[in-house]
Amino acid sequence: MKVAILISSRGSNMQALVNATQKEGFPAEVVTVLSNNPEAAGLQFAKDKGIETKVINHRDFDEREDFDDAITEYLTDKKVDLICLAGFMRLLSAKFVNRWRDRILNIHPSLLPAFKGLHVHERAIESGARFTGCTVHYVRPEMDDGPIIVQAAVPILQDDTPDDLAARILVQEHKIYPLALKLIAEKRVKVHGSVCKISEPDEDGTSITNPQTR
């Protein structure tokens, strides 16, 4: 399975995906890392790992759809099977999302459907919730919407600042994104309407219900 990762800046989730896929036997390969931002720090990491990088700068396009079409053209040329959004800070048009339906993943730092959008860590703390977490999901045209593939729960501690909480959630993000990719590459994820069902592995019997224990 050929994977493209789309980033806009730091790219720590991209790094986790690249590191996982470069381990022997992983059933997917990252063929390109694409950024809308030429200054994205993550681009250098990808280059150092021998992965092709590409910048398609949204500022070069007057219309969102033209920017999205340029991405589609590039990814089609690279014969990409699956797109992983990893801190990609551009909203994608419905045309793009529908073109790649069930072939785009996103990671979001909350337990969706709670806390969609921005400033999620502040909002989670202010809500008084005891737990938040992170979610890998298929992308639909609505922001932070789509069938959930894997989640990890993270407790909200009494004295947490948004940065404290973000740092603890990020540790889990780096576990569940490679896990979700592996499940998909192993063809164990099936979308039934708004719900994903995950089948057990063929041979080793490993449970996928609690990613934090893996």
Query: How far is residue 137's CA from residue 127's CA, in Å, rounded to a whole number?
Result: 23
Residue located via tokens 């014969």: 79
Q: Which is nearer to ligand GRF, 13 or 53 (CB)?
A: 13
Using CB under 6 A as the binding rule, whether residue 9 contacts ligand GRF is answered as yes
Candidate ranges 3-11, 74-82, 123-131, 147-155; the one touching ligand GRF (CB under 6 A): 3-11
- Taking CB under 6 A as the criterion, the residue among 75, 82, 84, 86 binding ligand GRF is 86
Structural tokens at position 189: 């994820």
Taking CA atoms, 153 is separated from 33, 47, 109, 211, in Å, by 28, 33, 10, 10
Q: Which two structure tokens, joined as six digits, stand for 19?
A: 């590191």
- 196 - beta bridge partners? 191
> CA torsion sign, 144 to 146 to 147 to 149?
negative
Which CB atom, from 109 or from 146, has the smaller least distance to ligand GRF? Answer: 109
Site string for ligand GRF, 100-119 (x = CB under 6 A): -------xxx----------
- Give the residue from 92, 10, 18 showing the smallest Cα distance to 56: 92
CB of 28 to ligand GRF, least distance (A): 18
Q: Is 19 in the site for ligand GRF (CB under 6 A)?
A: no
Cβ at position 96, least distance to ligand GRF in Å: 17
* Closest residue to ligand GRF in the complex (CB): 87
Determine whether 58 is an active site residue: no
Query: How far is it, in rounded angstroms, from Cα 67 to Cα 19?
Result: 29
**Which residues form the interface with ligand GRF (CB under 6 A)?**
7, 9-13, 86-87, 107-109, 170, 173
Q: Could you list the active site residues?
A: 108
